[in-house]
């Protein structure tokens, strides 16, 4: 296979244009070279829905973290304490470890557990919004979207109020590591302190829980340690994953979603006039401008995808953002349509690593957009062109000023 035949730099996620709006680039890639060898990123980039679904579901693709750790240029980063601490999280694991840990976590994020949490999530949304209401304006990202998911995760695992403040700093310290651009020494030190702080706090809380059990995912994990099903290291790594996986993803569901609704005012009006559309609206907002843009996989053997040979050991970047706008999967994909039928999004990935928090994320979306329209019905955005963060994996806004 001739890799040099593909046009150079068809994929360049570091340009200001891509950061502002990657979807025209995705459309170009999908039509010109849907399974594209990106020489600068040294990986394959997949932009068709069908190819993304195939790679995420096929057992010949995996995470293969041990292979990645052997890459010389990455060894110093993998040796950092934060990477050692999160090493065994689900997103870095393959079978047989992956299903063993995931099975312990699944009940605590099931539809039943999420329904139990709903009243607390609603109370958090209402409290934050009613506190903000008298101000007449806010930065939706900083003032609402950021504090909200942190509180939800703490409620999910029943962290006592007194233990919460340091965890907030640790979450922020580790979120920067989700962006693959190199970390400064200062950022690395912050990430190390954050991972250590998280781990020590969870191990301390686990001691308390053994004496005072509660019904939640934290308890399930502690009991799994004691039953020899998972290690303490796996427990800490995956509790940290809940904070990191369930934070910026939700911030950006709210930020990207609110922006999309205001860019399509007819859809916003439709939703205001018919709240029964909320479920399908959240599904459409998830599809339209998703937070997690990429799922990375390694070919565990040579595999042909879309007529190209992906060789053993090569990386495939499955572009979830591009798959979500594939006209083969969604008619008129660049239009926000909250009445779309069967618009099952690719935003939660697929296969073994399908998002464990998808039910919780959908519930948070429904609760928050309903509360927002009810409590601040006059909300307007100051700009329809707010700045996006520079982050190749996670797409989200730096700020979203709004008034009412």
User: Given phi > 0 = left and psi -120 to 50 = alpha, else beta, which region is 39?
Assistant: alpha
Residue with smallest beta-carbon separation from ligand HEM: 357
Q: DSSP string of 191-249? A: HHHHHHHHHHHHHHHHHHHHHS--SSHHHHHHHHHHTTSS-HHHHHHHHHHHHHHTTHH
Distance of alpha carbon 120 from its chain centroid, rounded?
Answer: 22
The CA-atom distances, in angstroms, between 28 and each of 23, 32, 40 are 9, 6, 18
Q: At what angle do helices 232-245 and 217-226 cross, to 10 degrees?
A: 160
Closest CB 224 distance from ligand HEM, rounded Å: 15
As a whole number of angstroms, the distance between CA 194 and CA 240 comes to 10
In the complex, what is the shortest distance from the CB of residue 185 to ligand HEM, in angstroms, rounded to a whole number?
Answer: 28
Longest dimension (CA), the chain: 64
Q: Which of residues 287-326 bind ligand HEM (CB under 6 A)?
A: 290-292, 295, 320
Rg, C-alpha atoms of the chain: 21
* Binding flag, residue 397, ligand HEM (CB under 6 A): no
Taking the complex as a whole, how short is the minimal distance between the CB of residue 220 and ligand HEM, in angstroms? 13
Residue from the set 195, 239, 241, 367 that interacts with ligand HEM by CB under 6 A = 241
Pairing state between β 43-46 and 61-62 = unpaired
Distance from CA of residue 73 to its chain's centroid? 26
Comparison of 39 and 351: residue with beta carbon closer to ligand HEM = 351
Stretch of residues binding ligand HEM (CB under 6 A), selected from 16-24, 237-245, 267-275, 336-344: 237-245
Interface pattern 43-82 for ligand HEM (x via CB under 6 A):
----------------------------------------
User: What sign does the dihedral 352-353-356-359 (CA atoms) show?
Assistant: negative
x/- map, 345-384, ligand HEM, by CB under 6 A: --xxx---x-xxx--xx-----------------------
> How many other β-carbons are positioned within 10 Å of the β-carbon of residue 169?
13
Of 13, 34, 108, 246, the one binding ligand HEM by CB under 6 A: 246
Interface with ligand HEM, residue 260, by CB under 6 A = no
Distance CA 241, CA 9 (A): 33
Fill in the per-residue mask, 113 to 152: x = in contact with ligand HEM (CB under 6 A), - = not in contact. ----------------------------------------
Work out which of 113, 175, 230, 250 binds ligand HEM, going by CB under 6 A: 250
Q: Is 251 in the site for ligand HEM (CB under 6 A)?
A: no
239 binds ligand HEM per the rule CB under 6 A: no
Q: Does 91 bind ligand HEM (CB under 6 A)?
A: yes
Compute the least distance from the CB of residue 264 to ligand HEM, in Å: 19
Of the listed pieces 1-9, 38-46, 176-184, 284-292, which binds ligand HEM according to CB under 6 A?
284-292
Candidate segments 123-131, 206-214, 261-269, 344-352, binder of ligand HEM by CB under 6 A: 344-352
Measured over the CA atoms of residue 230, residue 234, residue 236 and residue 240, the dihedral's sign is: negative
Residue among 250 and 368 whose Cβ is closer to ligand HEM:
250
Least CB distance to ligand HEM at residue 109 (A)? 6
Main-chain dihedrals φ then ψ at residue 397, nearest 5 degrees: -85, 145
**176/335 Cα distance (integer angstroms):** 31
Residue with tokens 């060789």: 311
By CB under 6 A, name the binding residues for ligand HEM.
90-91, 102, 153, 241-242, 245-246, 249-250, 253, 290-292, 295, 320, 347-349, 353, 355-357, 360-361
């Amino acid at each position: 296979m001739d890799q040099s035949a593909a046009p150079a730099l068809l994929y360049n996620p570091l340009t200001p244009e891509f950061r502002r709006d990657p979807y025209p680039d995705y459309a170009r890639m999908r039509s010109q070279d849907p399974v594209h060898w990106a020489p600068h990123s040294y990986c394959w980039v997949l932009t068709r829905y069908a190819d993304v679904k195939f790679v995420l579901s096929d057992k010949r693709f995996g995470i293969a973290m041990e292979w990645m750790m052997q890459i010389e240029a990455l060894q110093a980063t993998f040796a950092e304490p934060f990477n050692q601490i999160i090493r065994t999280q689900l997103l870095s694991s393959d079978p047989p470890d992956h299903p063993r840990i995931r099975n312990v976590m699944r009940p605590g994020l099931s539809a039943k557990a999420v329904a139990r949490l709903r009243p607390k999530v609603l109370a958090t949304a209402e409290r934050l919004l009613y506190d903000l209401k008298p101000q007449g304006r806010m930065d939706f990202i900083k003032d609402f979207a950021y504090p909200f998911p942190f509180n939800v995760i703490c409620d999910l695992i029943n962290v006592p109020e007194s233990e919460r403040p340091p965890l907030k700093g640790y979450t922020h310290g580790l979120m920067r590591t989700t962006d693959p651009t190199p970390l400064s020494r200062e950022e690395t030190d912050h990430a190390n302190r954050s991972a250590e702080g998280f781990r020590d706090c969870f191990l301390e809380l686990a001691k308390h829980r053994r004496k005072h059990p509660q019904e939640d995912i934290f308890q399930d994990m502690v009991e799994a340690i004691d039953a020899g099903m998972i290690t303490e290291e796996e427990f800490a790594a995956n509790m940290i994953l809940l904070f990191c996986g369930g934070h910026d993803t939700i911030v950006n569901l709210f930020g990207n979603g609110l922006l999309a609704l205001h860019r399509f005012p007819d859809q916003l009006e439709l939703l205001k006039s018919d709240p029964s559309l909320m479920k399908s609206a959240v599904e459409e907002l998830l599809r339209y401008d998703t937070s997690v843009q990429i799922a990375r996989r390694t070919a565990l053997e040579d595999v042909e995808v879309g007529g190209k040979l992906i060789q053993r050991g090569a990386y495939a970047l499955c572009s979830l953002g591009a798959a979500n706008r594939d006209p083969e999967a969604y008619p008129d994909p660049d239009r926000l349509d909250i009445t779309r039928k069967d618009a099952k999004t690719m935003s939660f990935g697929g296969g073994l690593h399908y998002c464990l928090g998808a039910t919780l994320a959908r519930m948070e979306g429904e609760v928050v957009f309903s509360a927002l329209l009810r409590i601040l019905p006059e909300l307007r955005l100051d700009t329809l062109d707010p700045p996006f963060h520079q982050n190749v994996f996670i797409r989200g806004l730096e700020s979203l000023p709004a008034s009412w």
